[in-house]
Structure formats: structure tokens, C-alpha cells
């Protein structure tokens, strides 16, 4: 599903929030793939109670705006654990009380044991994470969810960079198409371009971001 350039206001509010918290930055950076990029997004910098609470509300808003139904949330270790938790709290505040769970990196052989902590995996399970880079954590999560007899309902992330991987598809497109599940993003690169265009102080970065998009961007997005 293509993300509309004229996105709901919460997407622009989210980008403004990320910029104010230093999570979204503009300048000269290098991605893990070795690409020179004019912007950088690090959700790990949402690192205090107030920002996490607000972040959870943005995740909840994106999920509700997508219309996707699910029975519970799942957070891949490690960032996804916090993100699933704050999203669950935000949804409960809106009257949608969902169970959530997360995985351990290594199985525990005492106490409750196993790889999964929290609610048992049942029904339609939504994976909550920050971004999809290589798609590794999502693939592991899908396998774990299916191994417990549950169904992956989709993936909810903060930002879709809409950027090609090694091939012509982005990591988000690969996940969506390979597993047949939707990927919902609070904001996408298209939303970011609109955001830059609306802020005079970011005008110096507009051409650089647009050039980066033309060089590495995918032709279409699958984010809701």
C-alpha cells in the first residue's frame, strides 16, 4: 500500500517530535551499508519516560489509522521489547487492551523457561520494532510466532526509509512480500520530504535528501 504524500497530521507531528529529541538529524552520516546519507534516525534516543510515553501514542495512532486488526503485540529483543510495551500501554489508554510478549536472545532453562516472555503467543500477532534494516529480527520473529501456532499479522515500525537493499526492493518490501504481511510505518521517506518542505530551517537539506532518494529509493512503498 502506498503512503500518501498528504499524510495525516500525526505523521508530521511525529517527525517534529523526533527532530526535537535529536532522534532525527540532518547532516552527513554513513549507514551500516556504507552509504553517505543526509539524514539519520535513531529511535534509541527516545530514552526518557516522557518521550517513550509519547512515542507509544504515535505507534498506537499509526496502528489505529491503518485499520489492521490484531490480538496481541510482540517485541523483538531488544529495542522491540520497550516499543511493544509502550504501544500496549498507549492502546489500552484508547480502550484497546492487548496482551504483549517478547523474546529472549537465549532460551532460559529455569523459572518460566523458554524463549518467549509475557503473554502466550496466540491469534494474530503484530510485531513492533523501530525500523527494518536487514529484516533479520522480523524474520526470526515470524518464525517464532508461527512455531507457537500463532499468525503474524504484520509489522509496526517508526520509520520506513523506502530505501533499496542489495536488490531492487527495500527491506520493508522484502518482509511484506516474502511473508505476505503488511508493514505499517508511523512515517515514511515521503512524509519526511513533505516535512522538510514545510520547514524553512531544513531547506538546506532538501536537495540532498531528494538526491539520496533518487539514488537509493524504491519505486513504491508497502507501508500503510
pLDDT band at 4 (very low <50, low <70, confident <90, very high): very low
Contact yes or no for 170/48 (Cβ under 8 A):
no
199: its cell numbers: 520547514
Q: What is the arithmetic mean of pLDDT over 161-170?
A: 88
Q: Give whole-number Cα distances, 170 to 29, 35, 132, 178, in Å.
A: 19, 14, 9, 12
Cis peptide leading into 78, omega within 30 of 0?
Answer: yes
* pLDDT tens digits for range 177-203: 999 999 999 999 999 999 999 999 999
Q: Kindly give, in sequence order, each residue whose CB lies less than 8 Å from that of residue 66, ignoring residues fewer than 6 positions away.
A: 182, 184, 224
Q: Kindly give, in sequence order, each residue whose CB lies less than 8 Å from that of residue 117, ignoring residues fewer than 6 positions away.
A: 101, 102, 103, 104
pLDDT band at 1 (very low <50, low <70, confident <90, very high): very low
User: Mind telling me the catalytic residues?
Assistant: 108, 110
Query: Is the pLDDT higher at 136 or at 56?
Result: 56
At residue 46, the pLDDT reads 96
Domains of the chain: 9-216 (3.40.50.2020)
Residues facing residue 15 across a β-bridge: none
Q: Can you give the pTM of this predicted structure?
A: 0.90
Give the DSSP letter of residue 3. P
At residue 109, the pLDDT reads 55
Contact yes or no for 158/131 (Cβ under 8 A):
yes
Amino acid at each position: 500500500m502506498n503512503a500518501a504524500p498528504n499524510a495525516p497530521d500525526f505523521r508530521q507531528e511525529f517527525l517534529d517530535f523526533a527532530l526535537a529529541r535529536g532522534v532525527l538529524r540532518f547532516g552527513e552520516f554513513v549507514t551500516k551499508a556504507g552509504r553517505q546519507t543526509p539524514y539519520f534516525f535513531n529511535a534509541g534516543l527516545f530514552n526518557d519516560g516522557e518521550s517513550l510515553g509519547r512515542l507509544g501514542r504515535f505507534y498506537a495512532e499509526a496502528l489505529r489509522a491503518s485499520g489492521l486488526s490484531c490480538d496481541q503485540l510482540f517485541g523483538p529483543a531488544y529495542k522491540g521489547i520497550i516499543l511493544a510495551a509502550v504501544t500496549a500501554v498507549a492502546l489500552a489508554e484508547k480502550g484497546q487492551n492487548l496482551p504483549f510478549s517478547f523474546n529472549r536472545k537465549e532460551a532460559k532453562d529455569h523459572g518460566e523457561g523458554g524463549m518467549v516472555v509475557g503473554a502466550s503467543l496466540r491469534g494474530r500477532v503484530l510485531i513492533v520494532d523501530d525500523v527494518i534494516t536487514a529484516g533479520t529480527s522480523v524474520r526470526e520473529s515470524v518464525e517464532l510466532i508461527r512455531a507457537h501456532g500463532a499468525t503474524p499479522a504484520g509489522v509496526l515500525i517508526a520509520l520506513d526509509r523506502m530505501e533499496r537493499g542489495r536488490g531492487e526492493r527495500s527491506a520493508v518490501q522484502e518482509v511484506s512480500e516474502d511473508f505476505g504481511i503488511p508493514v505499517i510505518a508511523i512515517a515514511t521517506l515521503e512524509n519526511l520530504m513533505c516535512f522538510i518542505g514545510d520547514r524553512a530551517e531544513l531547506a538546506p537539506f532538501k536537495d540532498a535528501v531528494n538526491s539520496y532518494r533518487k539514488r537509493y529509493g524504491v519505486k513504491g512503498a508497502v507501508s500503510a
